Amino acid sequence: MFKKLFAVTALSAIATVSYAASAQAANFTYSSGGYRNANVTNQGSFSESVNQQGYETFDFNGSTTLPGNDRVKYSYDGSGRTQVVTLNNKSEMKWAPAAVVAEDNKSQYLQVFEGKKVVIETAKQGDTFNYFGLHLGSLSDGNVLEFFNAGKAVEFDYLDTKGVQKVATTLTFDLLKTLAPTLGYGNQTNGFFEFFSQGFNDNFDKIVISQSNNKGGFETDNHTFRIAKGKYSQAASVPEPSIALGILAVGGSMFVGKRKQQKSAK
């Protein structure tokens, strides 16, 4: 059982999609994320819904293998290197996605290198996701995030940092780094991204996390899902009692820092 959530949405921290979404398009927001527990600030950022009933969360802690259960299935595709970072690997723990106000993330996280993809799917045929949130960072050249519904790519509407409406299918490093609001190790950007379906046509049953080159790895942490059909609505979820609300770091601004140190894939 997750500990009580200690996070609240800071309005200035999230780029909220407030326009009418285009036909058959989902949308997404980005922020600094929140803490799962007020007293634990070194586990990375989490979804505001991490402690609510009806959601599935995987934090990659306690094991070096991919997680999963009877509702969400993780698998590897390809022949490249695979690893969930362990706590005693200090040379790679520094690349863990930085937490809410850039605190060092001391927990295990998912790492994907060139030649390998992590594929996330609904475990039961016919199920779909209508919400997915994940902590991204340290973002580097070659990071790619894709969503599919019955084999077809899902299109996303979003607002850029200037409030301009944009559309994207493949979410690449160039896009994600611009939106991620937190600056972490080596001046690389981090952020918590949340993806929302607007209807049945943009539900998704498959998510692919990959690295397109050998210039680094794709690091993610704290994945949260909602398995449902149709438009996503927080009102459909029932929060656990006595959830304490706290503070989120103000984010949503663009931090594009020059990389001071290059990650290397082994």
The predicted-structure confidence for 176-189, as pLDDT tens digits, reads as follows 999 999 999 989 99
Residue 252 has pLDDT above 50, yes or no: no
**Distance (Å, whole) CA 263 – CA 217:** 7
What pLDDT shows up at residue 92?
87
Preceding peptide of 45 cis, ω within 30°: no
Q: Percent of the chain beyond pLDDT 70?
A: 79
Residue 60 has pLDDT above 50, yes or no: yes
What is the pLDDT confidence band of residue 158, given thresholds at 50, 70 and 90? very high
Instruction: Take residue 85 and report the two structure tokens written for it.
Output: 């970072």
Better pLDDT: 76 or 14: 76
What pLDDT shows up at residue 236?
58
What pLDDT shows up at residue 74?
98
Better pLDDT: 24 or 204: 204
Per the CB < 8 A criterion, the answer to whether 34 and 255 are in contact is: no
pTM beyond 0.85: the answer is no
> Which segment of 5-14, 37-46, 86-95 scores lowest on mean pLDDT?
5-14
Per the CB < 8 A criterion, the answer to whether 29 and 213 are in contact is: no
Closest CA to 230 of 76, 40, 26: 26
Average pLDDT value for residue range 33-61: 96
What pLDDT shows up at residue 86?
82
DSSP calls for the chain? -PPPPB----GGG-----SPPPTTEEEEEEE--BBSBTTB-SS--B-TTTTSBT-EEE--TT-SS--B-SSEEEEEEESS-EEEPPTT-HHHHTTSPP-TTS----S--EEE-TTEEEEEEESSTT--EEEEEEEE-S--TTEEEEEEETTEEPEEEEE-TTS-EEEESSEEHHHHHHH--EE-GGG-EEEEEEEE--SGGG-BSEEEEEE-SSS--EEEEEEEEEE-SSS--GGGSBPPTT----------S---PPPSS-----
Q: How much is the mean pLDDT over the chain?
A: 83
Task: Write down the architecture of domain 25-236 according to CATH.
Answer: Sandwich (2.60)
What is the pLDDT confidence band of residue 157, given thresholds at 50, 70 and 90? very high
Q: Percent of the chain beyond pLDDT 90?
A: 71
Average pLDDT value for residue range 206-210: 98
173: helix, coil or strand?
helix
Residue 244 has pLDDT above 60, yes or no: no
What pLDDT shows up at residue 23?
55
Beta bridge partners of 53: 238
Q: What angle do CA 174, 179, 163 make, to 5 degrees?
A: 115
Please report, for the chain, the start and end positions of each structural domain, with discontinuous segments joined by +.
25-236
